């Protein structure tokens, strides 16, 4: 009883952003068929992290493409293209992340696709939009982080620019593509008309910064200032940050320095009675906190701070987190059996419908694994 | 016509996570009514960042709550609650982000609401799910980053934990909630039936780490190790990172190390022909690159690398970005107007539909600004 059962998605997208959107649609019940080039398939199959491969495909590929089918086609071959067009005629959604101009050359741009199927939702991801000097630049996560100003928000004052250590741009863009596709499906329910949905990595990562960019636009364009040490958000006041304790670390979110001063038994904190100074004197206050917090263990402080409802937490590694009862109670992991009998141990979809967790039914496909079945089923 | 034009959303949520979801839905065309408690309203109104006050309230609130209406109601007051229930009866979607247990005490849990409005989509965000030892902990962004393992991915090897410097957990869980609600609306448009959609901040930030957690499950549970310097992704090999140049910085994504050596005229890089070594020996390779890239300007390196299709970029701040044609062409900034005429600039929705930008001139509401008009509509 998943909400998108009956929806057919053709995924021409490669790598992370587009396929992460396809994964979410698959988790929601859509049938997702990857359209891949023959033999090698999509690029992500060979992009490995930590050199990890399973059955010839990177573990990353397995992670992002579970629960999908694979159909191979050489889009430059007229015969193959004809078959793909037949699929497009029957699909509800197609996604691609080719650079601007590529789909036009193949003859599968929106206008052409719409002629084949007027009810189609045609969704595309570009790096930087379709116009302007960056339109043809490679749309890659780290590059877009670097161009978007994002690298000045993480890390400490004297650090060089610090990127976020995950594909934040790809993932956020993928979620936005899903928003657009689903909204267009809702509209189609009323109008019976398809739509063109477009997102770009750059617009998505700017959207992610909307609060701080709004602040920048309205404070005389002051650039972000990270705290000297333990910085966790360039714009937030002390105590917001991570601090060393006797045996580890503790995070302190926003809260009153007065209450904190009482629990930590540090009367020095009382001198900052104007909350504005918690930002202007942030480095000095955080220095003070550092000297106090390092004297006791994390759990010592947590016991005392949590009792007073002060927002704080331990800082965990994967090793500690994945063994924690608060993690196991989520049933966040799943093991997916591949045809080769090997198992992929991964996470599940984070969204629940009617209190039911969503688990995948199958692993990522081999290149062209479903060619025969799809040709028969759709009479291609 | 925007895709969600006839959808009515009643939003009981505050701060950032769920309100960022209703902002997205508002931009897609839905009418969003924020139900806010008297006097303080959404606590985000007072959540100032860098002491910036925008027309009396926080710039964060102004950014998150544009394009919404405000209905003031005390959910513990019988008359007010009756009005809110009337609104919920008419609504397509109800959203809240109270801690587990609170919504039941208010008598607004899904079981109760479903009886009043069987076709409603009922969306909620919790911090850590409905059960387990953390269920009553505050669902706050930095705490979730800290507990979820995320802080060991950014920064360099010898740094302690480095959080991502924005509310990534709030934004992702809001984004996931919007996905779930939209999917449920797709379903409702076919079946007429409502649904409950639940998201937790912890599950959302774990989902964000699906690549690295899956890797952790498969590499025998090795501790996460960032490169000593120039780290941009703990699980990727050299050259992935940001490097200092003579006059700024350069980001380098992928590229075969010996080929980079050739392009950059850096002999030492040619000693790493094996792709595996780009990961296993990334610290020494990055050191060589860092020493070499310092010797010339960013522009010089870009002029060598870009024609060879190496993935690289300059590193900009908002001043340099906003001056750039590549940014200007996006038309990413819009001006919005509040009920009292106050104008401010903010970003627009990042999604384009049928070639059109989804913009809206409506600023954020004053507390209770629309209460009277909404009551009149109800009667």
Q: Is the pLDDT of residue B379 over 90?
A: no
Distance from CA of A372 to the nearest CA of B (A): 31
Interval A334-373: pLDDT, tens: 999 999 999 999 999 999 999 999 999 999 999 999 999 9
> Which pair of tokens denotes residue A11?
């995924």
Give the pLDDT mean for A253-268.
Answer: 95
pLDDT of residue B254: 86
Q: If DSSP codes are grouped into helix, strand and coil, which group holds residue B283?
A: helix
Of B49, B149, B209, the CB nearest to A316: B149
- CB-CB under 8 Å, B276 with A332: no
Q: Is the pLDDT of residue A1 over 80?
A: no
Interval B189-218: pLDDT, tens: 999 999 999 999 999 999 999 999 999 999
Contact partners, residue A372, CB within 8 Å, separation at least 6: none
Give the pLDDT mean for A62-67.
Answer: 98
pTM value? 0.98
Interval B296-325: pLDDT, tens: 999 999 999 999 999 999 999 999 999 999
**Is B158 near chain A, with CB under 8 Å?**
no
pLDDT of residue B100: 86
Interval B93-106: pLDDT, tens: 999 999 889 999 99
Percentage of chain B exceeding pLDDT 70: 100
Angle (CA) B220 B225 B230, round 5°: 150
Q: Give dist(CA B16, CA B26) in Å, integer.
A: 15
Q: Is the pLDDT of residue B361 over 90?
A: yes
Q: Give dist(CA A116, CA A216) in Å, integer.
A: 46
Cβ atoms of residues B265 and B292 within 8 Å: no
Angle, to 10 degrees, between the axis of helix B257-264 and the axis of helix B282-293?
10
pLDDT of residue A159: 96
**Which residues in chain A have their CB less than 8 angstroms from residue B168's CB?**
164, 168, 208
Give the pLDDT mean for A271-282.
Answer: 96
Instruction: Out of A67, A111, A170, A333, pick the active-site residue.
Output: A170
Interval A81-130: pLDDT, tens: 999 999 999 999 999 999 999 999 999 999 999 999 999 999 999 999 99
Give the pLDDT mean for B121-126.
Answer: 98
Q: Give dist(CA A369, CA B50) in Å, integer.
A: 54
Asked whether this complex has an ipTM greater than 0.95, the answer is yes
pLDDT of residue B161: 98
Angle, to 10 degrees, between the axis of helix B78-90 and the axis of helix B371-378?
70
Signed CA dihedral, A20, A21, A24, A26: sign only: negative
Of A254, A264, A332, residue with least CA distance to A301:
A264
Q: Give dist(CA B11, CA B68) in Å, integer.
A: 10
pLDDT of residue A96: 98
**Which residues in chain A have their CB less than 8 angstroms from residue B164's CB?**
153-154, 164-165, 168
Angle, to 10 degrees, between the axis of helix B168-191 and the axis of helix A168-191?
20
Q: What is the mean pLDDT of chain B?
A: 97
Which residues does residue B8 pair with via DSSP β-bridges, in sequence order? B31
Interval A6-48: pLDDT, tens: 999 999 999 999 999 999 999 999 999 999 999 999 999 999 8
pLDDT of residue A69: 98
Q: Using 50, 70 and 90 to split pLDDT, how confident is the model at B178?
A: very high
Interval A163-205: pLDDT, tens: 999 999 999 999 999 999 999 999 999 999 999 999 999 999 9
Distance from CA of A343 to the nearest CA of B (A): 10
**Which residues in chain B have their CB less than 8 angstroms from residue A146's CB?**
242, 249, 251, 313-316
């Amino acid at each position: 009883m998943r909400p998108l059962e009956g929806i057919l998605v053709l995924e021409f997208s490669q790598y992370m952003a587009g396929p992460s959107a396809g994964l979410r649609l698959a988790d929601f019940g859509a049938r997702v068929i990857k359209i891949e080039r023959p033999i090698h398939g999509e690029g992500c199959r060979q992009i490995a992290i930590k050199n990890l491969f399973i059955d010839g495909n990177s573990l990353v590929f397995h992670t992002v493409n579970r629960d999908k089918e694979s159909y191979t086609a050489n889009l430059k071959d007229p015969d193959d293209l004809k078959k793909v067009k037949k699929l497009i005629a029957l699909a509800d959604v197609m996604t691609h992340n080719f650079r601007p101009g590529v789909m036009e050359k193949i003859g599968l741009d929106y206008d052409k696709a719409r002629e084949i199927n007027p009810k189609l939702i045609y969704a595309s991801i570009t790096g930087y939009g379709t116009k302007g000097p960056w339109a043809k630049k490679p749309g890659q996560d780290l590059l877009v982080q670097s161009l978007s100003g994002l690298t000045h928000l993480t890390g400490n004052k004297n650090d060089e620019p610090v990127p976020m250590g995950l594909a934040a741009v790809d993932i956020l863009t993928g979620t936005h593509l899903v928003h657009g596709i689903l909204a267009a499906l809702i509209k189609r329910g009323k109008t019976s008309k398809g739509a063109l949905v477009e997102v770009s990595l750059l617009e998505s990562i700017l959207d992610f910064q909307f609060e701080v960019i709004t602040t920048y636009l309205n404070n005389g364009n002051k650039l972000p200032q990270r705290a000297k040490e333990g910085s966790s958000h360039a714009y937030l006041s002390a105590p917001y940050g991570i601090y060393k304790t006797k045996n580890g670390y503790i995070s302190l979110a926003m809260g009153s320095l007065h209450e904190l001063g009482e629990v930590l038994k540090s009367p020095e904190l009382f001198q900052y009675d104007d909350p504005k100074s918690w930002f202007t004197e942030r480095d000095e206050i955080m220095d003070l906190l550092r000297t106090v917090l390092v004297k006791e263990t994390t759990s010592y402080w947590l016991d005392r701070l949590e009792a007073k409802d002060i927002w704080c937490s331990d800082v965990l590694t994967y090793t500690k987190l994945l063994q924690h009862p608060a993690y196991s109670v989520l049933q966040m992991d799943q093991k997916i059996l591949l045809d080769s009998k090997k198992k992929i141990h991964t996470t599940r979809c984070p969204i629940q419908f009617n209190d039911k967790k969503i688990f995948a039914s199958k692993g990522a496909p081999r290149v062209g694994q479903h060619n025969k079945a799809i040709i028969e089923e759709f009479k291609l | 016509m925007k895709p969600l034009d006839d959808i009515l959303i009643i939003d009981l949520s505050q701060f950032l996570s769920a309100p960022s979801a209703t902002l997205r839905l508002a931009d897609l065309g839905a009418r969003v009514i924020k139900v806010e408690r008297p006097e303080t309203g959404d606590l985000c109104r007072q959540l100032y960042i860098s002491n910036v006050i925008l027309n009396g309230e926080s710039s964060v609130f102004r950014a998150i709550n544009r394009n919404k209406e405000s209905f003031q109601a005390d959910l513990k007051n019988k008359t007010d609650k009756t009005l809110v229930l009337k609104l919920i009866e008419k609504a397509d979607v109800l959203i809240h982000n109270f801690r587990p247990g609170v919504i039941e005490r208010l008598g607004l849990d899904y079981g109760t609401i479903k009886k009043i409005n069987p076709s409603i989509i009922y969306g909620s965000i919790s911090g850590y799910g409905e059960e387990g030892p953390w269920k009553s902990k505050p669902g706050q962004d930095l705490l979730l980053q800290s507990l979820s393992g995320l802080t060991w991915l950014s920064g360099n090897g010898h740094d302690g934990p480095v959080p991502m410097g924005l509310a990534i957990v709030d934004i992702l869980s809001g984004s996931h909630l919007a996905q779930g609600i939209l999917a449920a609306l797709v379903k409702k448009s076919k079946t007429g039936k409502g649904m409950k959609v639940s998201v937790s901040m912890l599950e959302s930030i774990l989902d964000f780490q699906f690549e690295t957690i899956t890797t952790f499950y498969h590499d025998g549970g090795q501790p996460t190790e960032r490169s000593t310097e120039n780290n941009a992704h703990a699980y990727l090999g050299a050259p992935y990172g940001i490097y200092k140049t003579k006059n700024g910085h350069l980001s380098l994504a992928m590229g075969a190390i010996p080929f980079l050596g050739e392009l950059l005229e850096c002999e030492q890089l040619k000693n790493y022909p094996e792709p595996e070594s780009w990961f296993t020996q990334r610290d020494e390779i990055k050191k060589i690159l860092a020493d070499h890239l310092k010797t010339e300007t960013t522009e010089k390196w870009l002029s060598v690398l870009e024609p060879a299709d190496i993935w690289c970029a300059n590193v900009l701040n908002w001043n340099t970005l906003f001056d750039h044609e590549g940014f200007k062409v996006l038309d990413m900034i819009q001006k919005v107007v509040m009920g009292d005429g106050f104008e401010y600039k903010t970003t627009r929705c990042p999604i384009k539909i049928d070639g059109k930008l989804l913009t809206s001139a409506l600023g954020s509401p004053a507390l209770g600004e629309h209460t009277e008009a909404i009551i009149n509509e109800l009667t």
